[in-house]
Amino acid sequence: MSRIDVESKRKLREMGVAALVDALDAQDEALTLGMVFEERIKLAVDDAHAAYTHAKVDGLIRRAGLRYPDADLRRLDLLEERGLDRSVIAQLGTCQFITRHQNVVFQGFTGSGKSYLGSALAKQACTHRYRAHYIRMPDLEESWAAAKDRPGGKEKWLRKYSAFTLLVIDEWLLDPPTGEVRSMLLELLERRYDEASTVFCTQYAKKDWHQRLGGGVHADAIMDRIVHHTIWIETGSTNMREHTKATV
């Protein structure tokens, strides 16, 4: 079967199907010899789709702003020593919690791998072609402070952070939020409630959250939008930074 002529290739590229042209060009004549047209096209479409999906996933991962871009749920060290349940981690890897609009909390001591787990989970969401975003709580507050005083800035900011299918907030409650930040968190979590999934990486156990959120009705309301649809995972006390250094 002859190759597609130059003019036809130009038209296909102009229509935005360059990946299909590349896949056809890359076909091995020895392997496709004797194939009918439909079979050769199907093979090219499969190859082009795989390349498109790979590029899309790479773009999602790049834009997610992961603290650890190479994080991988399939490569976690010392699972048993850290008290992590393999079946729970594997279940998270399916990203079904996202379709159910559930939240996840990774709670443990400093250095116990919370940020890595948050990055790995966001990366896994990207491989399922969900829009994910990782941000530290101090950076979230700084971003809010920069946006809120601009005309329409509050609403635009809230729309942006509400739209991520998976939002990872690291260093959650590391510093007690101000009243203004509590109001922002309430509005953001209200918009994400039962619509999207949020991951919280924190040193603090659930019993300490209410006090760190300032107590009162704002703390009640924020907690109410988190605790009922959340998978809680304790990451233990093993210092993974020390472990990583020791194994390098």
pLDDT at 48: 67
Question: Would you state the pLDDT for residue 242?
Answer: 59
Q: State which amino acid sits at residue 22.
A: D
Q: Kindly give the residue spans of alpha helices, DSSP state H, lying in 128-232.
A: 137-148, 153-163, 179-192, 206-212, 216-224
Name which residue leads in pLDDT, 157 or 38: 157
Residue type, 65: G
What residues does 168 pair with on adjacent strands?
Answer: 134, 199
Question: Residue 78's pLDDT band (boundaries 50, 70, 90)?
Answer: low
- Domain edges within the chain: 6-63, 86-247
Question: What CATH number labels 86-247?
Answer: 3.40.50.300
Q: Angle at CA 200, nearest 5°, toward 75 and 187?
A: 150
Please choose, from the candidates 212, 208, 244, 206, the residue with its C-alpha nearest in 3D space to the C-alpha of residue 227. Answer: 206
> Residue 2's pLDDT is what?
47
Query: How far apart (Å, rounded) are the C-alpha atoms in residues 219 and 226?
Result: 11
pLDDT of residue 50: 66
Q: Which among 213, 159, 226 is positioned nearest to 191, based on CA atoms?
A: 159
Q: Which residue has the tokens 């896949």?
A: 23
The residues, ordered by sequence, that sit 6+ positions from 65 with a Cβ below 8 Å of its Cβ are 133, 134, 135
